[in-house]
Amino acid sequence: MRFIDSHTEGEPTRVIIAGGPDLGTGSLRERRTRFRETADDFRKCVINEPRGWDALVGALLCEPQDPSCAAGVIFFNNTGYLGMCGHGAMGIAVTLHWLGRIGLGVQRIETPVGVVEVSLLSPNQVAIANVPSYRHRTRVSLHVERLGTLTGDVAWGGNWFFLVDGLPVPLTMSNLRPLSDAAQLVRDALEREGIMGADGAEIDHIEFFGPAQSPDADSRNFVYCPGGAYDRSPCGTGTSAKLACLAADGKLSPGDAWVQESIIGSRFTASYRAAADGRIVPTITGHAYVCGEGILIQQPGDPFPFGIGGSPA
């Protein structure tokens, strides 16, 4: 299993470029289902310790069904599979360029939730036109254990988010544990109260916002991912969900820039155009860097061939 590691504004992506499971043909959505049902041990091997870690997002390169696309991709993490991944799409673009498979300029990448356009502005700067995003519910009241009653918006940016109004603690690196604990309590409350995205979809990302620390940024965020890790980047799909809410409230006009700062201080610059159906099409720009290359090995007798907690050998 050959891989290339990169990070996008601090958030890691591991792209599997050879040795992945044979998922056959069909749509990326169908192949993602086949991945989940027949080859989930591969996901565990790539992501789980001792070969991976909880912050890592995996990306399996696939042949695209759409001939206009340079590549297809299925994203996955330590708990399952993602629809889209903004930082991961940037990592893939930079990785494909580093491998000599694409040049600078606009490329199309197929995902299980649609085609995204990536503009490789330099070997390390990427702008992605994300999938159409929208706010599903606004000012949702939620009683959260130990935190009291909170309100927030439910929005889609390629994944489902609950964007919380207000902060449990300040957005500083010293507060990573209380922020994570609070976000998990919010997730538990959403599940307990049956609050979901469209068509009963699970809301598996929690997002807190506060004032930016940099004078040229608009906001600082903390994004809690499905597997319990925090996003080191400002989160591409989370920033898209934020733009959808800002647009719905009339707080950001089409084409205006929004600079989203992450909990570690890295940033994405974002804007949007309005879609005909009331949704928005976000464009997210950031930087990604290749930082490693290697081969994952499963030796005979290894007690953890699929990671700690994975299937036995």
Residues 121 and 197 in one domain: no
Does residue 251 lie in a domain region? yes
Does residue 174 lie in a domain region? yes
Does residue 21 lie in a domain region? yes
Structure confidence at residue 214 (pLDDT): 94
**Straight-line distance from the first to the last Cα atom of the chain, in angstroms, rounded to the nearest whole number:** 17
* DSSP three-state, residue 44: helix
Structure confidence at residue 313 (pLDDT): 44
What torsion, rounded to 10 degrees, do the Cα atoms 296, 313, 88, 61 define?
70
Residues 167 and 241 in one domain: yes
**Residue 152, CA distances (Å) to 48, 189, 289 in order:** 32, 12, 34
Range of the domain at 111: 2-131+291-295
Does residue 300 lie in a domain region? no
Active centre residues (catalytic): 85, 235
Residues 189 and 125 in one domain: no
* DSSP three-state, residue 175: helix
Residues 94 and 152 in one domain: no
Residues 52 and 149 in one domain: no
Residues 83 and 47 in one domain: yes
Does residue 115 lie in a domain region? yes
Both tokens of residue 313? 């050998």
Contacts for 171 with CB less than 8 Å, ≥ 6 apart: 179, 208, 210, 220, 221, 222, 263
What torsion, rounded to 10 degrees, do the Cα atoms 238, 201, 7, 27 define?
-120
Helices 40-47, 28-38: inter-axial angle, 10-degree rounding:
80
Does residue 285 lie in a domain region? no
pTM of the model: 0.91
Mean pLDDT by 10 residues, the chain (313 residues): 97 96 94 96 95 94 95 94 91 96 95 92 96 95 95 95 95 97 97 96 96 96 93 96 97 98 97 93 97 96 87 49
Q: β-pairing, 105-111 with 71-76?
A: parallel
Residues 144 and 165 in one domain: yes
Residues 143 and 188 in one domain: yes
Q: What is the CATH number of the domain that holds 104?
A: 3.10.310.10
Cα 304 to chain center, whole Å? 27
Residues 167 and 33 in one domain: no
Domain count for the chain, please give it.
2
